Structure 1
């Protein structure tokens, strides 16, 4: 397990990128202001949040009852985290003032012993820590810490950090294996990885110990949640088939073999496990992370990077069960998978983790937000028939268009905090050099044990496979630059100072050693259109193919191809043309010849007939990047298409 790899802070990378630069500006200029209005219940036609109002009541500024979900506090924390990363990149006095005022409101609601959860402050503090399984106090604590550490890094202000640390101290006073404490742990994980961040920022080992306790106590007999259920006089919501697997608590985490239960909870837990394993050099815990990761990517991962196939429990399903239309695929789960992938890479240096991270970022994450940043998907299907969404209750969770807001609005601010920090994921350093993990244009400053340097990256990725890196400055010894060769790329070339070179290949990277000031390296990735097949065990995709170009998954939309997408098929030897189109924010669209089944040979009123070769007509198929679907009104969509061999 490696401990020498470090991410670069957001403020060390000035992003000037045609793709991610647009998203960063969108989050700064549109998403963060829009979500602030949503948290204050000022978006016409959107479900109310009640979030700020709950804090105002808890702080004594207003009177009233608690409204919304028990975890509503976390939406403000995620918004503050997004604001913090935005401030690191682009100082904004008005945004910082709003954030400071929100933090002051949070502080006014905090209790003398550090406790801070508006649901219990409003409804009765005597009941706090009595329902850790369902009522999300520690989930809210985790998101508070994530936001507070980011805000301290962004502004140097420690008020929010002190508030979060006081709540963490309060939790530690009440929870643990010591006499007089509750042997409890979070019902919805996130506090585990947050506490490791708090430890890293403060140096206080008590926070690492609390994170370790939460992880190792989970699933121990007697089950704490079972005890809570008896005391509450209830049965587990998902007891009928998931039971405590829903919470990843049916057995101790070190012995778990598969990803199971609620998908967001799961990937947050696995991220926390990875953090604790790295900090404590716990190889057994790291082995559990690798084992579960292997199960996800080999048997439970969608082509788009979505995870969580089942709407029941918003959960992982059984191996290879990956329905395209009934998928849950929560945006938050794809976000959490990015968190986990990054951690696994930093512990191994293996770029295969980055391949999954890239897959999720370019597809299943950003599909969760409209191109104007003002509407959102909770669920991210790979196939949509609007009539089913409207008329079949089995599809009630699937929306054919993005929503302005949600009563349960965990996904929109989660998207905002990830996208505003996306520069964190582009580079990693170790003792002798720098890794290019994601390809983004801009200027980055970095430091190794023996040098300080600055690089300028130029690229039109993901539309073009050429990445140019110029060494602007080096102070100290030469360094090694490692450029990721994505797993989807089957042919590439590396040039150094204009001449083709054979780099050292290791762990999916092309390494150039002894890089000096003034040198330039170019990585050229071949980016043909590829037809992708799923494993034969994936029933939903048998006889079908998906289309990818570079890191992007493509899809068919009714807006381009008419209704009845299920009638379409693709010749196995189809030739694709790629061309830029000034639509959907500017995309490379794909076209190819296809076939459409017609009604020829069917008599009116016939539902079935003796089989014969169906009548088909030639059509031109148009494909757009999956992330951009549903930005042109309601209509059908499909990622997978029947192959005609």
Structure 2
């Protein structure tokens, strides 16, 4: 009975779940994202490659390091190389480049030369600590690195058709499948830093080998069971299981089995990768309990533990979550990788349930918490993304732990896959990015052309091109930030209230070649207020226009930003400035500021400070720290 039920659920999933349109079928040519994708290709990719070389990350695969020699290969250097390979593969699919292709081929040859006869592939545990192979899954990132290398192999095969890295990673996955599980002689372990789970699902999808899906399901299902594996392996190493830096297995989401987890806890990136894998498995196996768990976790995150920028993770101590409503601004961690992980999880939730709340969060993270992580020139990066700064926090060209630079570099060239999705009867538009997509709805091929100046303007025009009339449902996301929206089909008004389904305008009809759809979202500047339990933001206001959160910098607002107040009735205007950092809509309004020059050296006095009028100038949050150093504020005092 169970197997029959599972089979029917999988059939339902294959026919009804939305499948992202591959980025290779989407050509982005808008004024906002296209320059960023180009800079990623022309500047960030070569910058990252240079640093992979100069820091020894690529050279580690030569396996020629010896004790006493400098540049000891780190336990997760392989993941940085893998993410660069994944990014380079995506970039090559978009724009052929013989020099980049040669670098990729050379790197793959070097990587595969380091693979051991049994399939194992990790430079550190091959030449630095071979006796520790698979001995400390809690801390040593072996499966994490393997996961990223598998993702790189899948990307490289899908975009180039070459099998060298894919075949090597299949051998590695076979070794992992033989090593871990519930069978005789196998280790009943799982990774301390989640990643392998979602990677194995990708490997299953491209190879059709069910064993990889089964191993992914094993890793997810085994996590958090008692007796706890990390305790057992610590005892086998001769260590005290309690001698653990983070003191709790909430840190890596292994404190209880995944289906019993009700709150997002611990390391934010690990959580996002785990939840992404849980949704992948729910989709591929029809396991509704995993979907239910993700619904619970999603609601908890978005209602209590997410920054207004879409950033997640409060604390530097655990690079993750603390308590409900604990969202400080100046000490916000909000790791770039975590925001990227939230984008990944959001897209997967959309595949199972086309609900605009997932697309809203995906968009919000992309436009704020993700692209803030890279400078306008593409060569400097944020690891942490605070919402307030005294002027000491700046992007860096690289980090000893460079997961964020290499994560950004792989996201941008694959952005097209987040815009559209289809199944046999539906075409969904999740994001509004000027582009042309070649899609299939059922067996019918069609082209969708999207024209827009989003996010600066809310007008979007869609045009369909097809060989024959085709019946399908077109689902158009109505952004959660939009208070006034209109839709026309071939010039005729559509009743939005009559066709709204889970935040998507759903229009089912026979579509013809040349049909046009116009959407218009009003984009006024809005004041945003935080939940009263967020003590850091009580009495404060943030500014939002469309999907963008705004901030104040000292470069535009001389004096202490903490002394500034935005009156409740102050008029605020938005205008496009084509000269500002590549072009952006800037917000201006009348604010009040407490001046310090009339205090005559007094520290305290019995008369209140006198406020003076000040022209406030706010810029999109993602653009901060691209000019001279200075203060930053997202949340302003309100009066």
Query: Do the aligned partners of 1:479 and 1:516 also contact (CA within 8 Å) in 2?
Result: no
Q: Distance in 2 between matches of 1:497 and 1:63?
A: 72
Aligned to 1:83: 88
Aligned to 1:405: 398
Aligned to 1:20: 33
Query: Do the aligned partners of 1:329 and 1:379 also contact (CA within 8 Å) in 2?
Result: yes
Aligned to 1:52: 58
How far does residue 513 in structure 1 lie from its aligned partner after superposition? 2.5
Aligned to 1:537: 533
Return 5+ residue gaps in structure 1 as ranges: 42-48, 390-399
Are 1:379 and 2:372 an aligned pair?
no
1:274-314 C-alpha deviation (Å, 9 max, x unpaired)? 11111111111111111111110000001111000111111
Q: Distance in 1 between matches of 2:399 and 2:629?
A: 19
Aligned to 2:7: none
Question: Map of 1:248-267 to 2, 5 A cutoff?
Answer: 248-267=253-272
Question: Map of 1:280-319 to 2, 5 A cutoff?
Answer: 280-319=285-324
Q: Distance in 1 between matches of 2:242 and 2:455?
A: 43
1:375-397 C-alpha deviation (Å, 9 max, x unpaired)? 000000000013xx4xxxxxxxx
Question: Map of 1:167-566 to 2, 5 A cutoff?
Answer: 167-234=172-239, 239=244, 242-386=247-391, 389=392, 400-475=393-468, 477-503=470-496, 504-514=499-509, 515-566=511-562
SS in 1 for 2:63: helix
Q: Distance in 2 between matches of 1:531 and 1:594?
A: 14
Q: Distance in 1 between matches of 2:492 and 2:242?
A: 63
Q: Distance in 2 between matches of 1:602 and 1:530?
A: 35
How far does residue 237 in structure 1 lie from its aligned partner after superposition? 9.0
Q: Distance in 2 between matches of 1:410 and 1:403?
A: 13
Q: Distance in 1 between matches of 2:176 and 2:559?
A: 54
Q: Distance in 1 between matches of 2:326 and 2:172?
A: 41
Q: Distance in 2 between matches of 1:213 and 1:270?
A: 15
Residues 557 and 171 from structure 1, CA distance in 2 versus in 1: closer, same or farther, beyond 3 angstroms? same
Aligned to 2:582: 585
Q: Distance in 2 between matches of 1:614 and 1:510?
A: 52
How far does residue 430 in structure 1 lie from its aligned partner after superposition? 1.8
Query: Do the aligned partners of 1:78 and 1:414 also contact (CA within 8 Å) in 2?
Result: yes
Q: Distance in 2 between matches of 1:616 and 1:110?
A: 68
How far does residue 217 in structure 1 lie from its aligned partner after superposition? 0.8
Q: Distance in 2 between matches of 1:277 and 1:340?
A: 13
Q: Distance in 2 between matches of 1:547 and 1:288?
A: 33
Residues 267 and 313 from structure 1, CA distance in 2 versus in 1: closer, same or farther, beyond 3 angstroms? same
Q: Distance in 2 between matches of 1:164 and 1:273?
A: 22
Aligned to 2:5: none
How far does residue 67 in structure 1 lie from its aligned partner after superposition? 2.5
SS in 1 for 2:279: helix
Are 1:628 and 2:634 an aligned pair?
no
Q: Distance in 1 between matches of 2:153 and 2:344?
A: 18
Of the structure 1 ranges 180-189 and 472-481, higher mean CA displacement relative to structure 2 is found in 472-481
Q: Distance in 1 between matches of 2:243 and 2:418?
A: 35
How far does residue 124 in structure 1 lie from its aligned partner after superposition? 3.8
Q: Distance in 2 between matches of 1:177 and 1:184?
A: 9
Aligned to 2:613: 618
SS in 1 for 2:585: strand
SS in 1 for 2:88: helix
Query: Do the aligned partners of 1:450 and 1:477 also contact (CA within 8 Å) in 2?
Result: no
Residues 540 and 233 from structure 1, CA distance in 2 versus in 1: closer, same or farther, beyond 3 angstroms? farther
Query: Do the aligned partners of 1:452 and 1:476 also contact (CA within 8 Å) in 2?
Result: no
Q: CA RMSD for the aligned pairs?
A: 1.8
1:218-255 C-alpha deviation (Å, 9 max, x unpaired)? 11111111122233444579957651111111111110
How far does residue 317 in structure 1 lie from its aligned partner after superposition? 1.2
Query: Do the aligned partners of 1:570 and 1:594 also contact (CA within 8 Å) in 2?
Result: yes
Q: Distance in 2 between matches of 1:223 and 1:160?
A: 34
Q: Distance in 2 between matches of 1:63 and 1:173?
A: 34
1:558-614 C-alpha deviation (Å, 9 max, x unpaired)? 1000131000010112211111211111111110000001236635152x444x543
Q: Distance in 1 between matches of 2:438 and 2:247?
A: 48
Q: Distance in 2 between matches of 1:295 and 1:187?
A: 23
Are 1:148 and 2:153 an aligned pair?
yes
Query: Do the aligned partners of 2:307 and 2:327 also contact (CA within 8 Å) in 1?
Result: yes
1:393-452 C-alpha deviation (Å, 9 max, x unpaired)? xxxxxxx21101111101001011111111000001122121111111121111011521
How far does residue 35 in structure 1 lie from its aligned partner after superposition? 0.6
How far does residue 522 in structure 1 lie from its aligned partner after superposition? 0.5
Q: Distance in 2 between matches of 1:145 and 1:540?
A: 42
1:305-346 C-alpha deviation (Å, 9 max, x unpaired)? 100011111111100100011111110000000000000111
TM-score normalised over the length of structure 2: 0.94
Query: Do the aligned partners of 2:181 and 2:218 also contact (CA within 8 Å) in 1?
Result: yes
Q: Distance in 2 between matches of 1:99 and 1:566?
A: 49
Query: Do the aligned partners of 1:369 and 1:402 also contact (CA within 8 Å) in 2?
Result: yes
Give the length in aligned residue pairs: 622
SS in 2 for 1:624: strand
Return 5+ residue gaps in structure 2 as ranges: 1-11
Q: Distance in 2 between matches of 1:600 and 1:190?
A: 55
Residues 445 and 102 from structure 1, CA distance in 2 versus in 1: closer, same or farther, beyond 3 angstroms? same
